[in-house]
Structure formats: C-alpha cells, structure tokens
Chains A and B, each alone.
Chain A
Amino acid sequence: MSSSLRNISAIAGKELRSFYSSPIAWVMLGLFAAIFGWFFSSALAYFASAAMRSQFGGGPQRMNVNLEMIRPLFSNTTVLILFLLPMVTMRTYSEEKRSGTIELLLTSPLKDIEIILGKYLGAMGMYLGMLGVTAAYLSVLFLAGNPAVKPILSGYLGLLLFGGGFIAMGLFISSLTSNQMVAGAASFVVFLLLWVVSWLGESMGPTMSSILSYLSITEHFDDFGKGIIDTKHIVFYLSFIVFGLFLATKSVDSDRWRG
C-alpha cells in the first residue's frame, strides 16, 4: 500500500510541477482570475446597490450576502469551470501518448490505477489553484462584512466535487486520444451535455425528466451553494468521479492491448 501511495504521489508531483512550470497554467489562472474578478465585481456592485435600495426604499427583507451574492457567484464559477477545466485535463494523458513518454510510465513498475490516480490528483492540484484564486476574492467580503462561513465552505465542497467529476471524465477522454485539441474539444462537449442534459426532461414525461435531472451535473450543485450538504449529492459526485477514473484505467489497459 505504501508503495502505491509513493507511486501516486510521484506522478501527482510530476504533473503539478510540469503544469505550474508551463505558461499555459499561468495564462489560464490569469484568465480565470480576470473573469472571476469581473463576475465578482459585478455581483458586488449589484449587491451593493440592491442593499442600498432595500435599506432606503424599505425593501421587504434584509439583504443576505450569502444568498444574494455568494450563491450566484458559485453558480457562475461552475460556468467558468466548464470552459477552463478541459484546458487542464486535455493534456494530462494525450500529451504523454503523443510524445511517447507514456512508454516510460507503462514500462515502469506502476499499476494503471496508480498512474491514473496520480494524474487525477495532479489535475486536482491545478484545480485547487483556481479555487484558491476565488477564495482570495471572497476573503475581501470578510474585510467589509460578515458573511456566514458555513455556506461558503459547503459551496467550496460542492465546487470541489463538481470539478472533481469533470476532471475524472476529462482524464478519461484525454486517455482516448493522442491529440490534445481533440481531447479538449470532446471534453468540452461532454461537459456541456452533462450540463444541459436535464433541459429536455420537461418535455419527455415525468420519469424521463427525473432521470435526466438526476444525471445533470448542475442539479446536484445547487444545494451546496445554499449551504446544504446532502449525502445524496455527495454520493452522486463521488460515483461520478469513481466512474470516470474507472473508465480511464480501463482505457489505459485497452490501449496496451491495441498497442
């Protein structure tokens, strides 16, 4: 077991190092910071003016920074992730296939699952960097007001699981091709489909509708934003992650057979 952990951490460390030493990482983090900053500023401006109105215009209820600002901000973040995570996952495996370095990994005394888990954790590390950027923005709110901490933490747990599911699926897609661009585009399309899968549900009858909305990766996110941690959502995301990693491991194995 300890040798497995050693192998996984060696791969994850390599992934992180090569990611953070590449310009792509910093361009992406920069873009992410800029767009998230835009969302943040506009949400803040909207919230400030709404709060002002409710205070002076005698609005029906007190404004809540968690509900009115942070929750929609988390939802916006999931949209950003949809666009940016394919850029993180597309190279994870494809690049190794293209450059032939996969021969090093596959002829080293490593199990397929160790390679995949190492790569997964490495990509999660990059994703954590992106979430770190959002945390820096949100900390500003603590300087100016006192938002509730628990819904923020549950929101981050949700983002972690949501992104974790995407990364697992993106890693699988990346393992199918040696072309980064194909991996990136396919991941984006698959992510988008998982996103909108519930939209058709309404017109397909109640059974289909509930199935599709269960499959929708966004439906499960809402509660986290509200500060509710429901095991059924956690189970959904975890099984999504496990399924993605399982497919990725099988894909590595089937690649061996095909040569």
Chain B
Amino acid sequence: MIEVQHLTKRYGRFTAVDDVSFKVEKGEILGFLGPNGAGKTSTMRVITGYMPPSEGKAVVAGFDVFTHPIEAKRRTGYLPETPPLYPDMTVREYLTFAARIKAGELSTNDRKTRVEEVMKKTHVDDMANRQCGKLSKGYRQRVGLAQALIHDPEVLVLDEPTAGLDPKQITETRDLIRNLAGNHTIVLSTHILPEVAQTCRKVVIINKGKVVAIDTPENLTHELKGASALYVQVGSTQDATSMLSEIAGVRAVTIADRHDEFTGYEIESEPNRDIRQDVARTVVNGGLGLLELRPMRMSLEEIFLQLTTEDQPAAPAKEAANVQ
C-alpha cells in the first residue's frame, strides 16, 4: 500500500533522510520511531506529497507520489505535527473546507453528512461551532485527525498524533487509531516508545536519516542481538551459580541481586533456545525454592537507545521489561 524506495532528502548540504526503504501492507500500522530530528517528518512529508524526494521514490496505493501527485494525495490523509487549522474558522467550517478541497466530488448533502460523521468519529462534534483557534490542544489534534479522515483515505500518515495530549486523550487517540487500522493503512511517527508497542504491528527505527531497524515490536524487544536472558529468583542465599551453569544451553550466570532471604540470578542462554523448563526443574530439584522466573527483555527504550547511540555493545537489559 505504501512503498518507500531508497528515499533520500537533502536540504542544501544537509541530508535529512538517507536511503530509507520500507513497505507497509494494506491494513497495517507502521510505527516510525526516532529521536527528534531523525528525519521522520521529512519522510512523511515526502510520502504525503508535501515535498519531492531528492532521490528515490514513494508509492502510495500504486501511485508514485511525485509523478502522480493528485491521485496519490486523493488517497492519503495527513496529520502534520502541528494540526493545520485556520484559527478563525469553526470546526464545522474548517472540515467543510477540507472536504471541499479533498473530496470535491461529494455533493453538498454528502459533504455535510461526511463532516458530521467524521466529527462523531473523532469526538469533536461537541465543539462543532467553536472556532479552531479557541480549542484546547487535545481538540486541535483531533480536529486535525478529522481533517485527515475527511476524504476517507486508504492511507493515513500521522505525525506524532498524541503529542501534547493528556493521558486520557492519549488512550482515546490510540484506540481511535487502532480502530482505523484495517480499513486504512497507517504510518504514524512518535518518539514515545510504549505507543509503538501498543499500536503498531511493525516498527521502523530511524536515526540521523538512516533506518537502523525494521521489525515487529515483539521481535525487537525479544531478542535483539541473538542472546536472550532469564531472570531467576530463588529463596536461598547459597550460591547456585555453578549449578545453573551446568544446564544445557546456558552461556553465563551472574548474580543479579542478593538479599537476606533470596538471591536473583541472570541467566544468559544461547540464542533461540528456550531453557525456562530446564532452569525451573533444576532450581526446584536442587531445593532452592523457585520464587520468580521470567524472560529478560530489552525494553523498547533500551533498544532504541542502543540503536540510536553509536558504538554501544549490545547487552541484555538489567531490568526486565514490561512491554504491554
């Protein structure tokens, strides 16, 4: 549905996006992750036809954005970082205008119905007659989203859709986006990591204009660099390092934390080998008293930091992640 091929965008001598390629299938949500200034917005602006690429191309719904901009734009809804609202227009006037320029083929009645529908969908109908300039940040964002949806596009490009919202609004917006997937193909950018884990099926991590990883959030959090690790807590203070080291598939055992009543171990195993049962059996048979056993994942934050910070050796996380 969206295909970005070897996309490069330069501003003068500065390269904002450097040979980025990825693909989004129909109905998928792709998370676009990166620190500020990584080139997320530039990439999105090329996909939406706001500006042409310096090299490479973007194809949306089968149309090259550069050579067939009108066809591509007709199928794309875009929510820029700052919602593009006219402060002196009411929400209804604004959406009517957006419908006029994006879905000109609608009759006056259909346009009215569409505007009302979209306002309901994005929960801005209670502010329909309020001027856009007087809306709160949360409403602005949702009116911006309504604008992106007004012509029922196949592809939605959302640049930081939850930026500046309060926690309740963030949850609502995420639910809304999740509900939109399926009918729409969505690319959303964010620098908030849990958001990606919660809403996206696929993640592209970008740094300094380059793609550093493309995968599902699960795969990224699970075993980033091959090695996976377990955390085991036993109700005994005696050193069980050697006992645990003898389990087949174990590479290294270290004591993670030691308390009066219990001890925690970190067990690093060979890649792609599930040793949880063996570890559990060993601990129980050894009479150590199994208190806790969980896989240690790198949180997305750690992966992100690792991928976006240069020359950092890949090391499993110290703390187990709670990725919802």
In the complex, chain A residues whose CB is within 8 Å of the CB of B101: 7, 10-11, 105, 108-110
On whether the beta carbons of B70 and A109 are closer than 8 Å, the reply is yes
In the complex, chain B residues whose CB is within 8 Å of the CB of A53: none
Which residues in window 75-112 of B have CB below 8 A to A?
76, 78, 80, 82, 84-89, 93, 97-98, 100-102, 104-105
On whether the beta carbons of B78 and A256 are closer than 8 Å, the reply is no
Q: B86's contact among A3, A6, A18, by CB below 8 Å, is which?
A: A18
Complex Cα distance, B97 from A108, in Å, reads 11
Is B9 positioned at the interface, with any CB of A under 8 Å from its CB?
A: yes
Instruction: Determine the residue in chain A with the shortest Cβ distance to B75.
Output: A109
On whether the beta carbons of B11 and A104 are closer than 8 Å, the reply is no
Instruction: Determine the residue in chain A with the shortest Cβ distance to B131.
Output: A21
Instruction: Determine the residue in chain B with the shortest Cβ distance to A118.
Output: B101
Is A100 positioned at the interface, with any CB of B under 8 Å from its CB?
A: yes
Complex Cα distance, B49 from A45, in Å, reads 60
Is B52 positioned at the interface, with any CB of A under 8 Å from its CB?
A: yes
On whether the beta carbons of B49 and A107 are closer than 8 Å, the reply is yes
On whether the beta carbons of A111 and B9 are closer than 8 Å, the reply is no
Which residues in window 165-196 of A have CB below 8 A to B?
none
Q: A106's contact among B50, B102, B104, by CB below 8 Å, is which?
A: B50
Instruction: Determine the residue in chain B with the shortest Cβ distance to A2.
Output: B104
On whether the beta carbons of B87 and A3 are closer than 8 Å, the reply is no
Number of A-B contacts (CB under 8 A): 76
On whether the beta carbons of A103 and B84 are closer than 8 Å, the reply is yes
On whether the beta carbons of B50 and A256 are closer than 8 Å, the reply is yes
Is A61 positioned at the interface, with any CB of B under 8 Å from its CB?
A: no
Contact with A along B1-45 (1 / 0, CB 8 A): 000000001010000000000000000000000000000001001
Contact with B along A243-259 (1 / 0, CB 8 A): 00000000000001111
Contact with A along B49-84 (1 / 0, CB 8 A): 111100000000000000001110110101010101
In the complex, chain B residues whose CB is within 8 Å of the CB of A259: 9, 11, 42, 45, 51
Contact with B along A95-120 (1 / 0, CB 8 A): 00001111111111111000000000
Which residues in window 211-259 of A have CB below 8 A to B?
256-259
On whether the beta carbons of B88 and A109 are closer than 8 Å, the reply is no
Is B48 positioned at the interface, with any CB of A under 8 Å from its CB?
A: yes
Is B221 positioned at the interface, with any CB of A under 8 Å from its CB?
A: no
Question: A3-B104, A109-B102 provided; 9 other pairs, C-beta below 8 A?
Answer: A7-B100, A7-B104, A100-B84, A101-B84, A105-B101, A107-B50, A108-B98, A256-B52, A257-B52
Complex Cα distance, B100 from A11, in Å, reads 9
Instruction: Determine the residue in chain B with the shortest Cβ distance to A14.
Output: B97
Given A14-B97, A22-B88, A104-B84, are A6 and B49 also a contact pair (CB < 8 Å)? no
